[in-house]
Amino acid sequence: MQFRARRIGILTGGGDCPGLNAVIRAVTRAARDGYGATVFGIEDGFEGLVEGRMHELSSQAVSGIVGLGGTILGTSSKGDPAHYPVEVSPGKIEIRDLSYKALRNIEQWSIDVLVAIGGDGTMHNALRLSDAGVGVVGVPKTIDNDVPATEVTFGFDSATSVVCAAIDRLETTASSHHRVMVVEVMGRYAGWIALVGGMSSGADLILIPEIAFQWEHVYRKVHERQNQGKRFTIVCVAEGARLPEGDVVVRATDMRRTDSKRLGGVGERVAQCIEQATGYDTRVTVLGHLQRGGSPTVADRVLATRFGVAAAECACKGETGVMVALRDGSVRTVSLADATGPQRTVPPDDELVRAARATGISFGDA
């Protein structure tokens, strides 16, 4: 008899981003209406899977959420079952492997297939569950756009649209006051947000993790613009850009996370160095979680819906151990092993980088 999933669980792991609710809606509707499956929402990502929190998703529960930001299920970046923070005494945290609890809850809930929506960390968790015998389908989500095996993740277009709009606004005040404006954006160790957001808004300097920059080249670009009568400069810097000294700037550490580093602060360092070296009035703006918030763009709503429908079809037909992905413009499946390879970072010779250079944007390396 052909396998058909009757009970499907959905969770959203890692940081939130626009488009998550569109996936939840698409999976629920496609699985319920097309295959007669019952769909359950697992609350707060892998935390809910470990702690046993879930509820059924009805058609009414997912009605009208396609344009809603965030996730109606809640999420967490601190719920890796194999690296789970447990408070053993007031103020004291121990990291334990609680994978057995996640597996026990999946069995007790009689979940046939788990749809895991998230980024790199979520896909690694999904692969471990798959290796343990759980039917899993991954859906790639992250504003960072760094998940391997897919051309793009939903959430990225929305985030870069925020960056573009913010820099457009900052350019008017930079021009009025003849200032250097440094804009720090997210992306962790991948420079896609800074590259696309900076390029689309006409930034003058883009500093990303994949291309090492030198202070003298940054200062030279600022001086060149001044000498040409362009009395302001826009610098878009990725939070994971390494300083010429070789280090990323870390705002804080959190041992409850699999990657304990919380990046942040490189924009302030860049602004300070520019002002001290050039004498030009310099300001910094950190966009932070604004890039994750708000409604998804049209492109992200459509991509998230396509991913959700494909994930539901995979789950209901028993095609598991896979992640849905965009390849050559079409939604296809790739193995979770391929989806957990090296992070998808910006190739230094990428066509986008070449186009940016050709239009006068400097990466601080020449």
Q: How far is residue 112's CA from residue 315's CA, in Å, rounded to a whole number?
A: 8
Sign of the CA dihedral with 350 first, then 351, 352, and 356 last: positive
For 305-340, the pLDDT digits (tens) are 999 999 999 999 999 999 999 999 999 999 999 999
Query: Which of 84-93, 216-225, 346-355 bottoms out in mean pLDDT, i.e. has the lowest?
Result: 84-93
How far is it, in rounded angstroms, from Cα 212 to Cα 138? 33
Distance CA 131, CA 292 (A): 31
> What average pLDDT does range 85-94 have in this prediction?
87
- 251 pLDDT more than 90: no
- Average pLDDT rounded to a whole number, residues 230-252: 91
Task: Say if residues 197 and 299 touch (Cβ distance below 8 Å).
Answer: no
> Which pTM value belongs to this model?
0.93
Q: Would you state the pLDDT for residue 139?
A: 98
Mean pLDDT of 233-259: 84
Is pLDDT at 8 greater than 50 in this prediction? yes
Q: Indicate the pLDDT class of residue 361, thresholds 50, 70 and 90.
A: very high
Q: What are phi and psi of 281, to 5 degrees?
A: -60, 125
- Residue range 96-118, pLDDT digits in tens: 999 999 999 999 999 999 999 99
144 is catalytic: yes
Mean pLDDT over residues 44-63, rounded? Answer: 96
130-135, long-range: CB < 8 A, 24+ apart? 130/320, 130/321, 130/336, 132/99, 132/103, 134/103, 134/106, 135/5, 135/315, 135/318, 135/320, 135/321
Instruction: Examine the pLDDT at 1 and tell me if it is beyond 60.
Output: no
Residue 202 has pLDDT above 70, yes or no: yes
pLDDT, the chain, mean: 94
Cα angle 46, 12, 291 (rounded to 5 degrees) comes to 125
Mean pLDDT of 286-294: 94
Residue tagged active-site, from 44, 120, 144, 146 = 144
The two three-digit tokens of residue 131, written as one number:
């290796």
Residue-wise pLDDT tens digits, 149-201? 999 999 999 999 999 999 999 999 999 999 999 999 999 999 999 999 999 99
Cα gap 223→230, rounded to integer Å? 10
| Residue 77: band (very low, low, confident or very high) from pLDDT cuts 50, 70, 90 | confident
Check pLDDT > 70 for residue 259.
no
- Partners of 167 in the beta sheet? none
Q: What distance in Å separates the CA atoms of residue 15 and residue 291, rounded to the nearest whole number?
A: 11
pLDDT at 322: 98
How much is the pLDDT for 88?
A: 84
